[in-house]
Amino acid sequence: MRSLIWLSLGAAVGVVAYRAVQQLRGEPTGGGLNRAANRVAESAAHFAEDVRRAMAAREAELRSALGIEG
């Protein structure tokens, strides 16, 4: 009986959380999840670009140190 109560409570919390997330995602204004997701995506893109740039610089250093023309 106790586990049924906890199961019901967990399902209710899940439904409420799901509906709150869906409502935030659907808001075109007001800084919902869409805006936050865009910021995260832009941050990831900038980070990836920085990594590529640093990787190319390090590769050039290694090629120069080893005397490899590339």
Q: Are residues 44 and 19 in the same domain?
A: no
The whole-number pLDDT of residue 54 equals: 95
Q: Are residues 43 and 21 in the same domain?
A: no
- What is the DSSP code (8-state) at residue 67? T
Question: Is 22:15 a contact under the CB 8 Å cutoff?
Answer: no
Enter the tokens of residue 34. Answer: 């869409």
58 HSE (CA, 13 A, CB side)? 6
The whole-number pLDDT of residue 69 equals: 80
Q: Are residues 19 and 44 in the same domain?
A: no
The whole-number pLDDT of residue 49 equals: 94
pTM of the model: 0.49
The whole-number pLDDT of residue 15 equals: 85
Q: Are residues 2 and 24 in the same domain?
A: yes
13-58 confidence digits (pLDDT tens): 888 888 888 777 766 555 667 778 888 899 999 999 999 999 999 9
Residue 4 domain boundaries:
1-30
Amino acid at 57: A
Q: Are residues 65 and 48 in the same domain?
A: yes
51 φ, ψ (degrees, to nearest 5): -65, -45
Q: Considering its fold, how many domains does the chain have in total?
A: 2
The whole-number pLDDT of residue 43 equals: 93
Q: Are residues 25 and 7 in the same domain?
A: yes
